[in-house]
């Protein structure tokens, strides 16, 4: 029997460790190659959208701001009538002023199906102007941020980028791990002319913000076209995914809440109750608004108008304070509240999802939340820039600069198997992993040469 000493096995262990390190580095390179351009776009648009209220208020101040007067505000029905006189069509939503200095909004669906928003002075009913629905600068920024601006296929990239961003952070943390080193762990060595400076800047920045990037990736997934849609359906599968979603037994229509207008992600699949027709007719918008006020709906709420004889008045508000998030459906004939749901009624999953999304959007902790997320967005841009500079300094002339193959190529498959766990959780990421594995095999002959 042959005895193998510890000294003889040490080189083998070192070779395996070095091979595994190179395999991780290679997959980290692929993750960056695939995601960094998108992460820059997401960081830029996300950083802007954190301050959407401030920027929209500044850019569209002629539409969104009015002079405060001592006189009473005009009746909602009068505002809707003035809006329809300026923009013929069907009124589908009325948004009450959030503050005494804010305008009222009426969303109108024109004969061609296009939606426009009329902005009105709530005191004298004057139409201040109009924009396409979701046509403010910050709404456009939001659509670009989610890639929805470029269609459903591009929107699917969000899931791929989010999943790869998580893999990018995990592989990056492995590469950053000190392993007895002191430099490049929490400090940056050299100057801007040296590659080690950019390597350390990249590694140290990633180590500090990595967990925040994972948080943003995970909380951004609910908007993805495939994974987000499936989770949405699952979360809303039992009384909208929230045990106290329906407080009374009411007949439900097949209409979903997001068909009527924007709502929180977790309520998009919530079904809208039906009104029961009565001989004395509908109560009208003014009475519905008075009812919402009496029920304590936070100012600035939107009212989706009934679109049919069985439709309802839906009052909804999604302020920065999650505890004041609320949706109320009123029977359009009796004014009875058919459903009244708030954040307190959500189950643990619903609360966790809403809290994560609220922090993601910079709403939960006020200005501190906005500044923290802005710092993360700027760090993502710094990571992308430092990665590009580092790659450029290392890249051989005329080559893509893919990190070299590990001595033991089996470690590449080992790392792939670990990363594939994320591919199982996020199917589109899994498909992209397989594509990158096939692409990686194409580089092997060149690497051997």
Give the pLDDT confidence of 36-47 residue by residue, as tens digits: 889 999 999 999
Residues 48-67, mean pLDDT to the nearest whole number? 96
Higher pLDDT, 244 or 348: 348
Q: How confident is the model at residue 92 (pLDDT cuts 50, 70, 90)?
A: very high
Least confident piece of the model among 123-127, 189-193, 218-222, 259-263: 259-263
Residues 397 and 268 in one domain: no
Question: 157: helix, coil or strand?
Answer: helix
Residues 260 and 167 in one domain: no
Q: CB of 294 within 8 A of CB of 328?
A: no
Question: 286: helix, coil or strand?
Answer: helix
Residues 324 and 401 in one domain: no
Asked if residue 414 is part of any domain, the answer here is: yes
CA-CA-CA-CA torsion sign (258, 263, 268, 271): negative
Residues 168 and 249 in one domain: no
The pLDDT of residue 367 is above 90: yes
Model confidence over 187-206: pLDDT tens digits? 899 888 888 899 999 999 99
Residues 73-80, mean pLDDT to the nearest whole number? 97
Q: Which two tokens stand for residue 102?
A: 């804010």
Task: Domain count for the chain, please give it.
Answer: 3
Q: What is the pLDDT of residue 150?
A: 81
Asked if residue 6 is part of any domain, the answer here is: no
Question: 318: helix, coil or strand?
Answer: coil
Residues 117 and 183 in one domain: no
- State residue 375 phi and psi, 5-degree precision: -60, -40
Q: What is the pLDDT of residue 271?
A: 63
Distance from CA of residue 236 to its chain's centroid? 18
Residues 171 and 26 in one domain: yes
Residues 37 and 183 in one domain: yes
Q: Helices (DSSP H) in 87-151: which residue ranges?
A: 137-145
Largest CA distance in the chain: 101
Residues 38 and 159 in one domain: yes
What mean pLDDT is reported for the chain?
Answer: 85
- DSSP H/E element including 446: helix 427-448
What is the DSSP code (8-state) at residue 60? T
DSSP assignment string, 338-403: EEEEEGGGS-HHHHHHHHHHHHHTT-TTTHHHHHHHHHHHHHHHHHHHHHHHHHHHHSPTTS--PP
In whole angstroms, give the CA distance from residue 167 to residue 34: 11
Asked if residue 65 is part of any domain, the answer here is: no
Name the nearest CA neighbour of 200 among 383, 17, 395, 374. Answer: 383
Range of the domain at 111: 71-134
Asked if residue 283 is part of any domain, the answer here is: yes
Least confident piece of the model among 180-184, 298-302, 440-444: 440-444
The pLDDT of residue 212 is above 90: yes
Last residue within a domain, chosen from 113, 134, 155: 134
Apex 128 CA angle, 127 and 130, nearest 5: 90
Asked if residue 232 is part of any domain, the answer here is: no
In whole angstroms, give the CA distance from residue 291 to residue 92: 18
Start-to-end C-alpha separation, the chain: 41
Question: 312: helix, coil or strand?
Answer: strand
CATH number, domain containing residue 76? 3.10.450.40
Q: What is the pLDDT of residue 242?
A: 42
Last residue within a domain, chosen from 346, 380, 395: 346
Least confident piece of the model among 164-168, 243-247, 256-260, 372-376: 243-247
Q: Which two tokens stand for residue 219?
A: 């909380």
Residues 129 and 148 in one domain: no
Last residue within a domain, chosen from 83, 106, 134: 134
Q: Which two tokens stand for residue 165?
A: 């961003």
Asked if residue 444 is part of any domain, the answer here is: yes
- Report the predicted TM-score, pTM, of the whole model to 2 decimal places: 0.84
Model confidence over 313-339: pLDDT tens digits? 999 998 889 999 998 999 999 999 988
Residues 324 and 416 in one domain: no
Name the nearest CA neighbour of 331 among 238, 251, 244. Answer: 251
Lookup result for tokens 């430092």:
386
Please state, for a pLDDT cut of 90, what percent of the chain lies above it: 49
Residues 82 and 213 in one domain: no
Asked if residue 311 is part of any domain, the answer here is: yes
Residues 130 and 151 in one domain: no
Higher pLDDT, 269 or 367: 367
The pLDDT of residue 249 is above 70: no
In whole angstroms, give the CA distance from residue 182 to residue 244: 54
Asked if residue 1 is part of any domain, the answer here is: no
Looking at the DSSP bridge assignments, the partners of residue 342 are 326
In whole angstroms, give the CA distance from residue 215 to residue 376: 11
């Amino acid at each position: 029997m042959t005895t193998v000493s510890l000294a003889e096995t040490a080189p083998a262990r070192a070779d395996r460790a070095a091979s595994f390190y190179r395999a991780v580095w290679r997959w980290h390179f692929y993750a960056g190659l695939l995601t960094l351009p998108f992460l820059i776009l997401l960081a830029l648009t996300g950083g802007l959208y954190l301050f959407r209220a401030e920027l929209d208020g500044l850019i569209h101040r002629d539409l969104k701001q009015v002079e405060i007067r001592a006189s009473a505000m005009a009746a909602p029905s009068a505002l809707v009538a003035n809006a329809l006189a300026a923009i013929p069509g069907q009124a589908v939503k009325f948004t009450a002023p959030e503050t005494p200095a804010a305008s009222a909004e009426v969303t109108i669906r024109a004969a061609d199906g296009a939606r426009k928003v009329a902005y009105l002075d709530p005191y004298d009913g004057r139409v201040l102007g109009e924009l396409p629905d979701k046509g403010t600068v910050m709404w456009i920024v939001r659509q670009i941020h989610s890639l929805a601006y470029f269609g459903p296929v591009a929107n699917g990239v969000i899931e791929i980028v989010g999943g790869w961003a998580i893999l990018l952070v995990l592989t990056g943390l492995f590469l950053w791990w000190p392993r007895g080193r002191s430099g490049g762990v929490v400090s940056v060595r050299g100057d801007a002319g040296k590659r080690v400076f950019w390597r350390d800047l990249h590694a140290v920045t990633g180590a500090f913000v990595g967990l925040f990037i994972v948080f943003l990736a995970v909380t951004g997934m609910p908007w993805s076209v495939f994974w987000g849609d499936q989770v949405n359906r699952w979360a809303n599968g039992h009384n909208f995914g929230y045990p106290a979603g329906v407080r009374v037994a009411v007949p439900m229509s097949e209409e979903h809440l997001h068909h009527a207008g924007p709502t929180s992600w977790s309520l998009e699949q919530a079904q809208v109750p039906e009104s029961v027709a009565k001989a004395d007719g509908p109560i009208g918008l003014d009475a519905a608004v008075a009812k919402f006020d009496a029920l304590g709906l936070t100012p600035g709420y939107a009212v989706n108008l009934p679109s049919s004889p069985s439709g309802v008045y839906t009052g909804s508000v999604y302020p920065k304070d999650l505890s004041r998030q609320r949706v109320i459906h009123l029977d359009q004939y009796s004014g009875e509240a058919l459903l009244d749901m708030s954040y307190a009624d959500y189950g643990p999953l619903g609360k966790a999802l809403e809290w994560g999304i609220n922090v993601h959007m910079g709403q939960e902790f006020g200005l501190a939340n906005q500044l923290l997320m802005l710092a993360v967005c700027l760090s993502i841009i710094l990571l992308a820039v430092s990665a590009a500079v580092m790659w450029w300094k290392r890249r051989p002339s005329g080559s893509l600069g893919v990190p070299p193959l590990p001595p033991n190529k089996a470690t590449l498959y080992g790392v792939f198997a670990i990363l594939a766990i994320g591919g199982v959780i996020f199917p589109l990421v899994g498909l992209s992993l397989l594509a990158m594995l096939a692409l990686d095999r194409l580089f092997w002959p060149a690497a051997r040469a």
